[in-house]
Chain A
């Protein structure tokens, strides 16, 4: 399969959107474009699987290279392994759901959908790049639309949030850039090619300097403590689809980068810094969970819980066992799907009740059974109920982390395990308050989900169930990738 299609299709969709004149056409074109992305992602999954069955054991499949700046060692080098395929699938699911829930956007409809599609373009490009320069290029493409999405279509203190988010993510990108350049100049081959660099033994001193730059830089994207504060403000000010994209796609760029670039290229430094990563991720997990407990606004609840859940991604990476890294990728997929669905539902509730304050809602199950049933399901997924994706991911991280017999890792794992109670507390407090109890009188006339909302929710739910009920396909997809990263450790 030609991977350029993954960039071309969003690009063509985006251009077509700019040419259109009326809002209805814009919506349908955006939907068709995102449906095409989803189909393409499935084709990719299928062909990838086929290749593996046929015995193609290369680390990256479907590699293509176009020379770009040969003198600087920059080439348009694309290729995917199982981890990238998983992320691409996740992106495709979130994009189509995001387009569907934005059906009623009336303000600058064309520009809105253009931004969404542009963001997806950046994400796909990022996940398939094997050249660090174009990877960085796509990373930036994925950041800028978010600034506009929040700044123009957001709510609340949107300018502040947009600035904060953009500046913090740009700061993260700057660190990444410095780290990349450091790697480039110290490697001795003057190449940005990921696979070429991976062949080299980057000197340990360079690793010790570049690894933290790259890890923290990407870490900002995935809410590494203490660089997480853009998350609550950014999510809560963003429009529904914006929050979904932030949590479902943007935060995953960081996790993927930490794994694919930082850890893969600099295994020695990763080992050295593992202790710090583990400490920070356990802090994020518990501290995020406790901070969530005190939130009153639904979006803040989900944003803070994202900090806690993304802590599991970093914990899995920090633990450096094959199982734990597989778990980290699973957690990225799971968290992306689940949080996107959660934000979609929060959006549906907000559109009807015009409030996100938990204490102002009660007994909504009576009036909107579909939406609230899904709220229950997504809440249960968040607290790790078996049969849904969260359980699979968290358990894989736990089992992977437990492979280290030393007291430090054990303590970290036990502390991380404790978060499942805190999660249950904050999820149940919020969900039962909104769903159950006597119905608030002013909400007597609420309507249940419309077709587009139902479709969006069902698409995401199907993916959550596919991971939660039969996880082996995803594990088999991801774990060879994790294996290669681990092999470099030795």
Chain B
């Protein structure tokens, strides 16, 4: 049985770091905060590995099936009988895997930051925020209640806001953190309403009960939920689509992706954390968590997931080929890879062999965490050295930064899908799943493989080759041990993680899934990937005029891709022009001149009226006499002529 205290400790240790450093960091731990936070997280990571070992190899299986265990459930907020937000822990293959991924990547980021952020004025605050971020994500992955996940979902949002806006005196960072928060918040409205719909349909907020109720055809809840409701679409479909909108917002799926590229305004290690292990994978995780409902009951919603994922993957890959800021390239590559995970879930079915896509998606999430963290931290090391994000300021760094170079290369090979690196295995499974269930997506995925290899090696060659002599001279450019060690560890992960028989541990229904290796099937993607690398090498290994020529020949399309297909401009137009001018301004105007105007008019009207009638109260006896006389005559006339 799982040890509840230890699992709680995994989650609460980073929180303890946040509270301690957040309140007392500036006073007492100005220099030691990094070490404190890192050691707390080291402990947390060790416990996560221990838990994973226990779950996967000791107590997790009953009758050959990995169970969903709920060692802790505490009623946090009781809405009504049956509906409550419980703070609980769910232990199942995906949550245990995520515990390991989140703590490990976060630990690497903590260690890396010891060197990267050294001497920063707000060092304790930085580590406090990292702790909050890690805590929120850990809380999210173990959530046993759909409202609990929303709770941590929002905390993830606010932690990313704090970290993206860490350099708060830079206007661009302020804009980016606001954008990230508001865009994901917009998606969260979908999630929130989706929760309300699902909870009303199933009568519960608890994940296990909810999934069980909504997937068993004999219950009344099920019958009501799949009956057509609003606009002829069933309540359940609405609920799942709305939840997916929330997931798409956090996972930066088209068209809610616009916050992700800007999010690199945060310190680079933070980007590694956001892109590899927290935040963006939350959406994928949410779909995976509700996967049985998606797959068994509402395949149409799952189709939506598949197409949104595939389109986002392609869209981002095209943009990534044109960007010149290395962090932006990586950001779009993240969006593209998350798209892979999404459509892998989208093409999957539930149970047994048909659940390959599910396993593949989780596998890719796992391997991606390794190589994307590696790539971002590598980029961080480069940026730390050259003090620029732009490719044109780099080049020829392979001699100056040999370890960064080597590890970055491993990361590129892994993400491109070159065997035997990690990405190859997970991508191969995804492609196979797509091939089996949805051919059109398979073809899109093949194109993306080639594009991925191209843009990653374009990046690689531009940073480490291209120019022979770097303007920074010949001096050694590696960071200290704290920056080196995470790179090496992650590189080892990115190199060998693919050999894990992932299907044995994680599958849609908890049973053992043998994914195997299909040689004839791998030929096409690997060939395309090598072709992509080759083209990138010809174009970017040495300085030449070919890239410009190519860009010029694709003029309009290149420009559109370079400007990210103008999606930002569209949003800008909608928010600034339409919402502010057509809703906000009229609302404020209406309030000031109509509603308040009426109030003032009542007041002024009363005053004017009294000003008029007060003249009658003049105090002059003569006028009173006239009024009296006039009244008497008037009454007399009335009596004489009208009433007789």
In the assembled complex, the Cα of A386 lies from the Cα of B192 at a distance in Å of: 13
Which of these, B155, B168, B192, B587, contacts A290 with CB under 8 Å?
B587
Q: Is A400 an interface residue (CB 8 A)?
A: yes
> Are A396 and B79 in contact, CB atoms less than 8 angstroms apart?
yes
Residues of B within 8 A of A432 (CB): 165, 174, 177-178
- CB–CB B151/A386 < 8 A: yes
Q: State the CA gap A363–B171 with chains docked (Å).
A: 10
B77 touches A322 (CB 8 A): no
Q: What residues on B are CB-neighbors of A187 within 8 Å? A: none
Chain B hits for A163, CB < 8 A: 603
Q: Pick the contact of A380 from B158, B177, B182, B199 — CB < 8 Å?
A: B158
Across the interface, do A428 and B595 meet the contact criterion of CB distance under 8 Å? no
A418→B590 CA distance, assembly (Å): 21
- Nearest-neighbor residue (CB-CB) of A399 within chain B: B79
Would A229 and B599 count as touching, CB distance under 8 A?
yes
Tell me whether A417 and B178 are in contact in the complex, defined as CB-CB below 8 angstroms, given that A226-B595, A291-B588 are known contacts: no
A472 pairs with B77, CB closer than 8 A: yes
Map CB proximity to B onto A132-169 as digits: 1 under 8 Å, 0 otherwise: 00000000000000000000000000000001100110
Binds A, one of B305-313, B452-460, B577-585: B577-585
The answer to whether B200 and A471 have CB atoms under 8 Å apart is: no
Assembly CA distance A475 to B26 (angstroms): 37
Q: Does A402 contact B (CB under 8 A)?
A: yes
Distance in angstroms from A414 CB to nearest chain B CB is: 6
Q: How far is the CA of A285 from the CA of B418 in the complex (A)?
A: 55
Shortest B258–chain A CB gap in Å is 15
Query: How far in angstroms is the closest Cβ of chain B from A368?
Result: 13
Interface residues contributed by chain B, number (CB under 8 Å): 49
Q: A287–B587 contact, CB under 8 A?
A: yes
Let me know if A387 is at the binding interface, CB within 8 A. Answer: yes
| Total A-B contacts with CB atoms under 8 angstroms apart | 131
A293 at the interface (CB under 8 A from B): yes
A11 to chain B, nearest CB (A): 34
- CB-CB under 8 A from A399, the residues of chain B are 79-80, 83, 196, 199
Is the Cβ of B200 less than 8 Å from the Cβ of A418? no
Assess A402 versus B588: contact at CB under 8 Å? Given A386-B151, A475-B77.
no
A398 to B173, CA, bound (A): 33
Decide if A203 is an interface residue (CB 8 Å cutoff).
no
B76 adjacent to chain A (CB < 8 Å): yes
User: Knowing A290-B584, A290-B587, A428-B181 touch, does A387 contact B168 (C-beta < 8 A)?
Assistant: no
Q: CB-nearest residue of chain B relative to A400?
A: B79
| Residues on the B chain within 8 Å of A396, using CB | 77, 79
> If the complex has contacts A294-B588, A399-B199, are A168 and B165 also in contact, measured as CB distance less than 8 A?
no
Question: Given that A421-B189, A472-B75 are known contacts, is A436 also in contact with B603, CB under 8 Å in the complex?
Answer: no
**Knowing A399-B83, A436-B169, A437-B174 touch, does A291 contact B591 (C-beta < 8 A)?**
yes
Chain A contacts of B36 at CB under 8 A?
A: none
Encode B587-623 as 1/0 by CB contact (under 8 A) with A: 1101100011011000100000000000000000000
Q: Does A437 lie within 8 Å of B77, measured CB to CB?
A: no
Q: Is B147 an interface residue (CB 8 A)?
A: yes
Q: For residue A327, which residue of chain B has the nearest CB?
A: B79
A421 is contacted by which of B77, B182, B199, B230 (Cβ under 8 Å)? Answer: B182
Given contacts A399-B79, A399-B83, A405-B200, contact A424 B182 (CB under 8 A): yes
CB distance from A79 to the nearest CB of B (A): 26
Per-residue interface assignment for chain B, residues 171 to 202, with 1 indicating a CB less than 8 Å from any chain A CB and 0 otherwise:
10110011001100110110011001001100
Which of A400, A413, A418, A471 is B77 in contact with, Cβ under 8 Å? A471
Nearest A residue to B171, CB-CB:
A437
Q: Which residue of B lies closest to A424 (CB)?
A: B185
B520 within 8 A of A: no
* Alpha-carbon distance A323/B591, docked complex (angstroms): 32
In angstroms, how far is the closest chain A Cβ from the Cβ of B172? 10
The residue on A at minimum CB distance from B197 is A402
A392 to B590, CA, bound (A): 32
Please give the number of chain A residues whose Cβ is less than 8 angstroms from any Cβ of chain B in the complex: 59
* Bound CA span A476–B77, Å: 10
Please give, as numbers and ranges, the residues of chain A lying within 8 Å of B174 by CB-CB distance. Answer: 432, 436-437
The answer to whether A385 and B158 touch across the interface, beta carbons within 8 angstroms, is yes
Quick check: A287 and B77 within 8 Å, CB to CB? no
B513-528 interface bits toward A, Cβ cutoff 8 Å, 1 = contact, 0 = none: 0000000000000000
Q: Does B509 contact A (CB under 8 A)?
A: no
Mask of B190-219 contacts with A, CB within 8 angstroms, 1/0:
001100100110000000000000000000
A152–B168 alpha-carbon span in the complex (Å): 40
Q: 1/0 per residue B469-503: CB within 8 Å of A? A: 00000000000000000000000000000000000
A429 within 8 A of B: yes
Partner of A323, one of B80, B168, B585: B80
Most chain B beta-carbon neighbours within 10 Å: one of A163, A226, A429? A226
Whether A293 contacts B580 by the Cβ 8 Å rule is yes
Separation of A425 and B83 alpha carbons in the complex (Å): 30
A394 CB, min distance to chain B CBs, angstroms: 10
The reply to whether the CB of A435 lies closer than 8 angstroms to some CB of chain B is yes
Q: How far is the CB of B75 from chain A (nearest CB, A)?
A: 7
In Å, the complex CA distance between A383 and B177 comes to 15
Tell me if A420 and B196 are in contact (CB < 8 A). Answer: no
A164 to B78, CA, bound (A): 42
CB distance from B382 to the nearest CB of A (A): 27
B182 and A439 contact, CB distance less than 8 A = no
- Bound Cα distance A432, B181 (Å): 12
B353: interface (CB < 8 Å): no
The interface residues of chain B lying within 8 Å CB-to-CB of A407 are: 230
Cα distance A163–B607 when bound, in Å?
A: 13
Is the pair B158, A437 in contact by a Cβ cutoff of 8 Å?
Answer: no
Min Cβ gap B594→A in Å is 9
Residue B154, interface by CB 8 Å: yes
Distance from A19 Cβ to chain B, minimum over Cβ atoms (Å): 39
- A365 interface residue per 8 A CB criterion: yes
B555-587 Cβ-contact flags toward A at 8 Å (1 or 0): 000000000000000000000000010011101
Q: Does A395 contact B (CB under 8 A)?
A: yes
Interface residues of A in 287-309 (CB under 8 A from B): 287, 290-291, 293-295
Chain A: which residue is nearest B75 at the CB level?
Answer: A472
Complex CA–CA separation, A414 to B188 (angstroms): 12
Q: Does A454 contact B (CB under 8 A)?
A: no
Q: Are A417 and B189 in contact (CB under 8 A)?
A: yes
- The reply to whether A437 and B169 contact each other, CB–CB distance below 8 Å, is yes
Would you give the 0/1 interface string for B256-276, flagging 1 where the beta carbon is closer than 8 Å to chain A? Answer: 000000000000000000000
Q: Is the CB of A386 within 8 A of B182?
A: no
> Which residues of A sit under 8 angstroms from B171, Cβ to Cβ?
437-438
Contacting residues of chain A (426-470) with chain B, CB-CB under 8 angstroms: 428-429, 432, 435-439, 470
What's the Cα separation between A470 and B79 when bound, in Å?
A: 14
Contact A421–B591 (Cβ < 8 Å): no
Contacts of A425 in B (CB 8 A): 182
28 contacts between A and B (CB under 8 A): A163-B603, A167-B603, A168-B599, A229-B591, A229-B599, A287-B590, A290-B588, A293-B580, A293-B584, A293-B588, A294-B587, A294-B588, A363-B169, A383-B185, A395-B85, A398-B192, A398-B196, A402-B196, A403-B80, A413-B193, A425-B182, A432-B174, A436-B165, A437-B171, A438-B169, A472-B76, A475-B77, A475-B78
With contacts A386-B150, A398-B192, A420-B188 known, what are 7 further pairs, Cβ within 8 A?
A163-B603, A385-B154, A385-B155, A396-B77, A399-B199, A400-B80, A413-B193
Binding site for A on B (CB under 8 A): 26, 75-80, 83, 85, 147, 150-152, 154-155, 158, 165, 168-169, 171, 173-174, 177-178, 181-182, 185-186, 188-189, 192-193, 196, 199-200, 230, 580, 583-585, 587-588, 590-591, 595-596, 598-599, 603
Residues of A at under 8 Å CB distance from B? 163-164, 167-168, 226, 228-230, 287, 290-291, 293-295, 322-323, 363, 365-366, 369, 380, 383-387, 391-392, 395-396, 398-400, 402-403, 405, 407, 410, 413-414, 417-418, 420-421, 424-425, 428-429, 432, 435-439, 470-472, 475-476
